[in-house]
Amino acid sequence: MDYDKSMMTSEKTDIKDRIDSIRNTIPGHVKILAAAKTRSMDEVRIAFEAGIHVFGHNYVQEASDMIQMASINAEWHMIGHLQRNKAKQAVAIFDMIESVDSLRLARELEKRCNQIGKMMPVLIEVNSGREENKTGVLPEKASEIVQFLAGCQYLKLKGLMTMGPMTGDPELSRPYFKETRRLYGEIATMALKNVEMQILSMGMSNSYQVAIEEGANLVRLGTSIFGPRHS
């Protein structure tokens, strides 16, 4: 038991130290989202106690279980690919959907939010790397979803999210962040009703510093907060 307590104390210190270190390297206006996929309840609670109040998850059911059991007053974002048949459950548990990647999904989310009378802020996921095996809308196809969201009653477009190709060198992600920032500005200048371009969600543990240089104000961090993923 003493060994377990020692391990927990060490883990708590490590996570807090990582969060403090990250905060010292980023501007104050940049919000940190802790990616909770594969993480334990204890890790999530430690991060919350260390001042992280926005968490993201890739899977609806796992997120639902974690949100209920964690019992923390945090903001939860859906950051993974969302299937339309999970939209009903997703709108019930999340505070933001960052991964709207098709008109069909947007329509389903509007329908489900209407049913429960819930306003849902959303981000359009952009496939900035134009990768065939990745979700997200191509930059030139985003306007169709933007126009639909502008007319929604229960969804409110708040910005864009992009993953960018996964590479070892964060500099290789810069062109994709630039492209997403360009699209973000283009949509903002349209001055559409129900569209408030406030959030540019870009960058993960290996690339968040480059993403911030290119305009990100929300970064999604997992490994740099919690350490290597559990299997």
**99-121 burial: b if 16+ Cβ within 10 Å, else e:** bbbbeebbbbbbebbeeeeeebb
Over 70: is that where the pLDDT of 32 sits?
A: yes
Band the pLDDT of 21: cuts 50, 70, 90.
very high
Q: pLDDT higher for 167 or 29?
A: 29
Query: Identity (one letter) of the amino acid at 168?
Result: G
Segment 162-183, tens digit of pLDDT: 987 777 799 999 999 999 999 9
Band the pLDDT of 222: cuts 50, 70, 90.
very high
How far apart are the C-alpha atoms of 72 and 204, rounded to whole Å?
Answer: 23
Strands 155-162, 120-126: pairing is: parallel
DSSP state, residue 168: S
How far apart are the C-alpha atoms of 149 and 143, rounded to whole Å?
Answer: 10
What pLDDT sits at residue 3?
35
What pLDDT sits at residue 11?
83
Q: Looking at residues 198-224, what average pLDDT do you find?
A: 97
Torsion, CA 137, CA 164, CA 188, CA 59, rounded to 10: 70
CATH architecture of the region 2-226: Alpha-Beta Barrel (3.20)
pTM of the entire structure? 0.93
